Structure formats: C-alpha cells, structure tokens
Amino acid sequence: MSDNLFLYLVNGEKHGKGFWRISLTTFSDPLEEDSLFIECYRKELLGTEAAKKILNAIELNIENLINDCRDDGYKIISVDEGISYDLPLTILEEIYDFWLYLYRDNKLFKKVFSLLLARERIKFSDPAMVKALKGFTGEWAQQIERLHSYRPSSKRAVFHRDPMWSENISDQLEALKHK
C-alpha cells in the first residue's frame, strides 16, 4: 500500500439519486475510483495516517450535523451512497477545509478533535456551556459549534407522495372519487 492517499470530495449519481462522498483513494483522479462519480470539488494528497485521521474527523462532524438537524425536526434523506444532497456543497467544503487546515498543527488537531468527540454529547451553544468554556477551549468549542450550525431552509414532511404523472394515476383518481 502507498504511503500517501488522496482525500477527496466528489458528487455522484446512482439510479437517478445524487450524493456527495468524502473518502480516500490512491488514484490521482478520484473520478477514476468509481464510475458513479461526476465531479471532484476537493482533492488533497496526504500521508496515509494523516488522511485517515482527517477523514475520521470530517465523517464525525458530518454525522453530528445530520443528527442535530434530525433532532431539530429537519428531514435529511438517507441515501444508499455517500452523503445526502440535503447538505449543501458549501457546508461540506467548509467542514473539509477546516479539518484539513487544522491538521497542519497535529497537537492542535488532537485537542480540537477531542472537543468534536465531546460535541457528540454536549452542545456548546448551550448558554451554560458558553459561560463555562473559556480561553482556548471556549474559542475552539465555538468553532466546532459553528460547523454544526447549518439547518435546511424548511422542515419536510416524512411521508412521500408519487407525482401526478406516475404510473398509478388511475389508482390515485379512483381513491379521490371515494373520498
């Protein structure tokens, strides 16, 4: 195995459903990794250990963000591949860039990653936490909280309806007659 890996952010499509993916590859062009990939937005050559640590932080950050959105009543669609398009590219790029840049200082990365692990259980936006966390910890806790602040523009209903041009339109018309 190579001593280096590419950390990448791409979008793709499978069965008409779009997705984002952040992952690792040995290919210099991440689009060669999978025929489902369409476009590459970020790509960085890193040492294997660094790439895995950064990817771990990014994945945990995104998982926390999705869980927060769902806890707040927003529906984030689960996709078979990668990350839902419900999270905008700008948010994923911000998270990707934050952790990539932070890894330049390994000690700082470890400390801030520890805050990310704590963020799974504790929201740093809680007023009591804001007052309690001071100095270095308080500053970085607010940075972590900012990475978790995105919410979709509206809450969506959980149920799904077929469009009116779907194959079962006669069934839908029949159901309407009996109401």
User: Which pLDDT tens digit goes with each residue over 81-92?
Assistant: 899 999 999 999
Residue 79 located in a structural domain = yes
Alpha helices in 35-88 (DSSP H): 48-71
Average pLDDT over residues 66-88: 91
**Model-level pTM greater than 0.75?**
yes
Crossing angle of helices 48-71 and 89-102, rounded to 10° = 140
Structure token pair of residue 140: 């970085």
Residue 177 located in a structural domain = no
Residue 21 located in a structural domain = yes
Residue 175 located in a structural domain = no
Q: Is the dihedral of CA 56, 105, 149, 132 positive or negative?
A: positive
Structure token pair of residue 135: 């100095």
pLDDT of residue 130: 78
Average pLDDT, the chain: 88
Average pLDDT over residues 137-148: 93
- The pLDDT of residue 170 is above 60: no
Residue 63 located in a structural domain = yes
Residue 164 located in a structural domain = no
Round to whole Å and give the CA distance between 153 and 133.
Answer: 30
What are 9's strand-pairing partners? 22, 42
Residue 121 located in a structural domain = yes
Q: Which domain holds residue 150?
A: 4-156
Percent of the chain with pLDDT over 70: 85
Report the domain count for the chain.
Answer: 1
Residues 6+ apart with CB under 8 A from 79: 17, 19, 85
